[in-house]
C-alpha cells in the first residue's frame, strides 16, 4: 500500500519588485525572482541548505532525498513540513536513514545551475540503470512539447532568471511544470512529484530550459526517463553518460529545429513533417 507522506502546503511570494535605473537614468520597477534558503532537517538532524525560488518546497525536499538516494521509496517518508518563518523543512522518516553521516560525506561540486552538489556515488549507480528499450518519440510530439513550453505561463516571463523543467507523457501532454532559481531544484521537484503521484519515467519526456550537463543526464536516468530535451546545449560528460545509457538527448529545441545527439534510433521522423519543413525552407 502506497503510504503518502503528510505534506505541508507552504506558500511564498515568487517574485519581488525592485527599482532600477536604465541607460538614460530613468527609474522604473521590475520584478525579480525570489531566492531563499530552505534548510532540510531529516529526523531533527540538519542535512543541507538549498537555495530556492520557493514554489514547490515539499516536492523539492522529497525529490532531493530521492535523487540523492537518501531514501529508497516514498513510503519511507512519514511527513514533510515546510515552515517559511524559519526557512526550513522538517522531514520525518518512518525508520530513519541508515548511515546518513557516511552517505553525505563525499562532496562532488557539479556543473549545473542550482543544486550543484551531489553526494558521492551517483555515477556508480548509473551503470545499473536500464531505460525502457522500446520507448520512441515522434517528431510531431517533440514539436507539440516545444510549443507547450513556448506558451506556458511562467515566472521566467514575469521576472527572468529562473530555469524551468517539465515532464510530458508519451503523447506530449504536460504533466508537470516547475521553475526554480537553480534548474537542479526544478528537476528534483519533478522527481518528488513523480514519486508522490506514483508516476514512472519509462515512456516520459523530460524538458529543461537549462543545459544538459552530466548531472542532469544522471538525474533523468535515475528517474528512468529515456528522453531529455533542452532548448540549450550539452557538455561532453552529459553526452557520454547519455550514450552509455542509450538515452535520447535532444538539444537546441526551438521552433521546428532540434539536434539529436544520442539515442537517435528512438526518434521517429515523420516524413510529412519533414516534407512540409523542406517546402518552408
Q: Which residues would be at the binding site for a copy of itself (CB under 8 A)?
A: 16, 18, 20-25, 30, 32-37, 47-51, 104, 107-117, 139, 159-161, 181-182, 184, 211, 213-215, 232-239, 251, 256-261, 264, 267, 269, 274, 277-278
* Residue recorded with cell 528534483: 188
Q: By CB neighbour count within 10 A (0-12 exposed, 13-18 middle, 19+ buried), where does 102 fall?
A: exposed
Of 67, 76, 72, 74, the residue nearest 121 (C-alpha): 67
Question: For residues 3 and 254, which CB has a smaller minimum distance to a copy of itself in the complex?
Answer: 254
Question: For residues 30 and 148, which CB has a smaller minimum distance to a copy of itself in the complex?
Answer: 30
d(CA 131, CA 129): 6
In the complex, minimum distance from the CB of residue 118 to a copy of itself, in angstroms, rounded to a whole number: 9
In the complex, minimum distance from the CB of residue 194 to a copy of itself, in angstroms, rounded to a whole number: 21
Of 203, 170, 171, 209, the residue nearest 187 (C-alpha): 209
In the complex, minimum distance from the CB of residue 157 to a copy of itself, in angstroms, rounded to a whole number: 12
Question: For residues 85 and 279, which CB has a smaller minimum distance to a copy of itself in the complex?
Answer: 279
What is the number of other CB atoms lying within 10 angstroms of the CB of residue 139? 18
Q: Which three cell numbers stand for residue 245?
A: 545509457
HSE toward the beta carbon, residue 37, CA cutoff 13 A = 9
Q: Are 49 and 40 in contact (CB under 8 A)?
A: yes
Question: For residues 175 and 252, which CB has a smaller minimum distance to a copy of itself in the complex?
Answer: 252
In the complex, minimum distance from the CB of residue 42 to a copy of itself, in angstroms, rounded to a whole number: 13
* Residue recorded with cell 523539492: 60
Q: Which three cell numbers stand for residue 240?
A: 557520454
Q: Are 215 and 110 in contact (CB under 8 A)?
A: yes
Of 237, 248, 247, the residue nearest 110 (C-alpha): 237
Question: For residues 67 and 201, which CB has a smaller minimum distance to a copy of itself in the complex?
Answer: 67
In the complex, minimum distance from the CB of residue 19 to a copy of itself, in angstroms, rounded to a whole number: 8
In the complex, minimum distance from the CB of residue 88 to a copy of itself, in angstroms, rounded to a whole number: 13
Question: For residues 36 and 244, which CB has a smaller minimum distance to a copy of itself in the complex?
Answer: 36
Angle ∠(149,117,248) on CA atoms, nearest 5: 45
Of 233, 228, 230, the residue nearest 245 (C-alpha): 228
Question: For residues 44 and 107, which CB has a smaller minimum distance to a copy of itself in the complex?
Answer: 107
In the complex, minimum distance from the CB of residue 14 to a copy of itself, in angstroms, rounded to a whole number: 10
Question: For residues 182 and 201, which CB has a smaller minimum distance to a copy of itself in the complex?
Answer: 182
Of 228, 231, 214, the residue nearest 267 (C-alpha): 228
Please name the helix (run of DSSP H) or strand (run of DSSP E) that holds residue 220, with its range, or none: helix 214-222
Amino acid at each position: 500500500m502506497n503510504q503518502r507522506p503528510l505534506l505541508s502546503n507552504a506558500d511564498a511570494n515568487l517574485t519581488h519588485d525592485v527599482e532600477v535605473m536604465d541607460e538614460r537614468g530613468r527609474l522604473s520597477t521590475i520584478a525579480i525572482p525570489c531566492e531563499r534558503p530552505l534548510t532540510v532537517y531529516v529526523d531533527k538532524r540538519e542535512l543541507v541548505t538549498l537555495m530556492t525560488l520557493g514554489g514547490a518546497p515539499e516536492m523539492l525536499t522529497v525529490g532531493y532525498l530521492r535523487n540523492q538516494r537518501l531514501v529508497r521509496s516514498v513510503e519511507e517518508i512519514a511527513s514533510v513540513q515546510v515552515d517559511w518563518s524559519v526557512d526550513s523543512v522538517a522531514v520525518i522518516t518512518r525508520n530513519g536513514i541508515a548511515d546518513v553521516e557516511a552517505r553525505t560525506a563525499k562532496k562532488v561540486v557539479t556543473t549545473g545551475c542550482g543544486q550543484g552538489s551531489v553526494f558521492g556515488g551517483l555515477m556508480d549507480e548509473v551503470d545499473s540503470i536500464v531505460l525502457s528499450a522500446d520507448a520512441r518519440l515522434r517528431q510531431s510530439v517533440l514539436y507539440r512539447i516545444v510549443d507547450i513550453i513556448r506558451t506556458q505561463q511562467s515566472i521566467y516571463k514575469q521576472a527572468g532568471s529562473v530555469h524551468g523543467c517539465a515532464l510530458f507523457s508519451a503523447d506530449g501532454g504536460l504533466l508537470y511544470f516547475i521553475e526554480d532559481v537553480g534548474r537542479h531544484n526544478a528537476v528534483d521537484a519533478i522527481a518528488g512529484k513523480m514519486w508522490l503521484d506514483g508516476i514512472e519515467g519509462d515512456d516520459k519526456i523530460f524538458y529543461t530550459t537549462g543545459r544538459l550537463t552530466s548531472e542532469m543526464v544522471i538525474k533523468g536516468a535515475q528517474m528512468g526517463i529515456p528522453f531529455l530535451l533542452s532548448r540549450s546545449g550539452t557538455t561532453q560528460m552529459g553526452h557520454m553518460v547519455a550514450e552509455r545509457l542509450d538515452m535520447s538527448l535532444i538539444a537546441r529545441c526551438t521552433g521546428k529545429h532540434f539536434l539529436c545527439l544520442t539515442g537517435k534510433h528512438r526518434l521517429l521522423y515523420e516524413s510529412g513533417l519533414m516534407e512540409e519543413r523542406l517546402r518552408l525552407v
